[in-house]
Copies of this chain bind each other. A is one copy, B any other.
Amino acid sequence: MLDKERFAMRAVKWMRWVLLPAVVVIVLAQAAPALASDGGPDPLIRGLNTVWVLITAFLVFWMQAGFAFVEAGLTRAKNTTNILFKNLIDFVFATLAFWVIGYAFMFGSTAGGWIGTTGFFVSPAGAQDVAGLPLMAFWLFQLVFAGTAATIVSGAMAERTKFSAYLLYSFFISAFIYPISGHWIWGGGWLATLPIGAGFKDFAGSTVVHSVGGWLALIGAILLGPRLGRFGSDGKPKAIPGHSISMAVLGVFILWLGWFGFNPGSQLAADGLNADIISLVAVNTNIAAAAGAISAMVVVWLFISKKPDLPAALNGTLAGLVAITAPCAFVTPAASVVIGLVAGVIGAYGALLLEKLKVDDPVGAVPVHLMNGVWGTLALGIFATENGVSGLIAGSAEQLLAQTIGILAVSAWCLLCGMVLFATIKAFHGLRVSREEETQGLDILEHGAQAYPGDVLV
């Protein structure tokens, strides 16, 4: 209790750090109006592309609800308030962190290819277009991606993490970890300019977003340890079923819909040849999702639980979506079928592997986001034939090499940061709730409220 008050006092101090600069920027804003536009060659093309980028950004924002519902549905009712709260607040923190510093680290002028150094508070650059778009449209699109990376971690650490610890690491992910490795790839950094193949390629973020979230999820889950009762005293795993498959299914449908923003929106334009690319990307995204669902369903049905298992098919869908995220603009629909089929299998067996390693990942965030983030990034190096990138089947091994280097670099970065971040929180603040709290559920002791009070169905 006292501990929490101390944390809250710290939060207030933190708010001062937002409020003060805010006032400063308001004053600055009068000198550098946010609306002065440099026009660009065709205001109509710019308008069309802005509409496309804004609407796809809205769809990606909507994925926050999807992640929240997948995670809450696949866990127990006694932790639902806590889980939904985290999924709301991580996006809230991402918004402020990415505004204050995250965007600058990711997309500011590069310092040697390692980190961006301009554009804090998304101001003075306020008057300039980025990628042919109003800066504000570009910023919003990038923000919703940052929010996604942060929220992935939540699922693997569900049902046993302190709320205040979650706030801390969620802020650091959006403010530092994600933007810096993101700078290497999307901010014009060293991986983007790698002189191998077409340079490291990740169209919409299998690595930039999903693997980063997935690595941090894995480290967090390991450092936390499994939930009470997840492994018996004999070491045997015991399934802990989620409280509402309806919520999980809704979440997956929301995510699938949101991915139509995530991937096709990443082209950042819709005119001319861009119309062809976004259409191809949308089709590939949909096909890989379907293929992932079907292969996960069949593999589990035949070889694992011997039944058509809905949570497995749901994670197969997400696996296919994560895997196609990197290569979606560079491959054919036929290749997307193969990428999705493999993704579903990886998702299903990946979950088994984690269980064998006694890592407790309540929602399958690691097989979905990490393993398939890696698979999708490699798949680009194998199947790329479109849009100026050539993979193995087009006869070039270079791209696969570039992809491997990127995967290794980002892994190292995430392992380093994740270890430091979670170990620091664990040492100085505590990462895990008490046994009593975990047994009773986090909702009552952390938040003083149940998600579904007892008299609900009376």
Contact = CB atoms under 8 A, between A and B. Distances in A.
Contact of A246 (B72, B313, B448, B454): B72
A54 B279 contact: yes
A337 to B, nearest CB: 5
Interface residues of A, number: 151
Chain A: interface secondary structure? Answer: helix
- Interface-central residue, A93, A305, A313, A333, by most chain B CB under 10 Å: A333
Given A26-B332, A42-B44, A452-B456, 6 more contacts: A1-B306, A61-B257, A88-B293, A89-B297, A123-B333, A143-B286
A145 interface: no
Contact of A22 (B50, B337, B452): B337
Contact of A446 (B80, B253, B307): B307
A143 B455 CA distance: 38
Contacts of A245: 80-81, 84, 449, 451-452
A43 interface: yes
Contacts of A455: 76-77
A452 B457 contact: yes
Interface string A237-249: 0000111111101
B47 A270 contact: yes
Contact of A310 (B12, B15, B55, B449): B449
A8 B302 contact: yes
The 4 closest A-B pairs by CB, nearest first: A25-B334, A65-B253, A136-B279, A95-B290
Report which residue of A308, A317, A452, A453 has the largest number of chain B beta carbons within 10 angstroms of its beta carbon.
A308
A77 B15 contact: no
Interface in A315-338: 317, 332-335, 337-338
Interface in A381-395: 383, 385-387, 393-394
B313 A89 contact: yes
A413 interface: no
A354 to B, nearest CB: 20
7 contacts: A29-B334, A34-B332, A35-B277, A37-B275, A134-B279, A137-B282, A241-B450
Contacts of A243: 452-453, 456-457
A46 B276 CA distance: 10
A107 B155 CA distance: 43
A140 B61 contact: no
A274 B39 CA distance: 11
A256 interface: yes
